[in-house]
Amino acid sequence: MAGKKKSPGVTPPPYHHGDLRQALVQAAVSILEEEGLAALSLRAVARRAGVSHAAPYHHFQDKEALLDAVAAEGFRLQMLDMHNAAQNAAAPINGLQAFGLSYASFARKHPSLFRLMYTHERFTPGTSPELVQWSGAIYPQIIAGVRERTGCSEEEASSIALVLWSTMHGLAMLALDNQLSWPGAKPLDTLAFEVTELLGRVMPERKSPP
């Protein structure tokens, strides 16, 4: 019961609510995970954060700006995932497969967030720098991963990374659309595994065999 007065030496909470901006982003993410994209209205986000429906306008210019922040958070999460996959890439046969499986599993674990990240007609001039930065980090990360595992030049690695990214992205998108769900179809993980194996054949040799 020490009370909740501002304790000295701690930076005071920057807003009335605590940090409403961040709370709104988190509320939006929960709605996405629990109820899907269709349920993601500004008013629902405000409701879940426990503020009036007009409150978000003190932190975001409009709904699109909030969605931008949510998408940026999504890209941050995906970067974490990719990073972890690169670390734990002991089991898969090659690094491409580690990446492919991580991409597929992220899409499967966060389908609505994944859709929001890649699907709204965003990335116009005027998109928040935060989103531009986080979303722009994905491709370089893939390129770096490819270079680490091959003796590729920067240019060669860029081409391979683009094929790899496109393929996994398309596979994930089609799977989320249920386009790959005919009777007896293989699950996304299996497809990702097989497809990256096939792609491995166009890759140059590993830089240094173990």
In the complex, which residues of this chain contact a second copy (CB under 8 A)? 36-38, 111-112, 115, 118-119, 121-124, 135-136, 138-139, 159-160, 162-163, 165-174, 176-182, 191, 194-195, 198-199, 201-202
Least separation in angstroms between residue 75's CB and DNA is 22
Distance CA 131, CA 99 (A): 22
What's the number of CA atoms in the CB half-sphere (13 Å) around residue 46? 15
For residue 14, the partner it binds in DNA, a second copy, none, with Cβ less than 5 to 8 A by kind, is DNA
41 binds, among a second copy, DNA, none (CB under 5 to 8 A by kind): DNA
The torsion region of residue 111 among left (phi > 0), alpha (psi -120 to 50) and beta comes to alpha
Compute the least distance from the CB of residue 20 to a second copy, in Å. Answer: 26
Binding site for DNA (CB under 7 A): 14-17, 20, 41-44, 51-55, 57-59, 62-64
Query: Contact, 164 vs 140, CB < 8 A?
Result: no
* Binding partner of residue 15 among DNA, a second copy, none, CB cut-off 5 to 8 Å per kind: DNA
What's the rounded Cα separation, in Å, for the pair 39 and 20? 20
Exposed/middle/buried for residue 64 (C-beta within 10 Å: 0-12, 13-18, 19+)? middle
Minimum CB distance to DNA, residue 109 (Å)? 25
CB of 28 to DNA, least distance (A): 10
Which residues on adjacent β-strands are paired with residue 18? 15
Q: Which is nearer to a second copy, 121 or 154 (CB)?
A: 121
Asked whether 189 and 104 are in contact (CB, 8 A), the reply is: yes
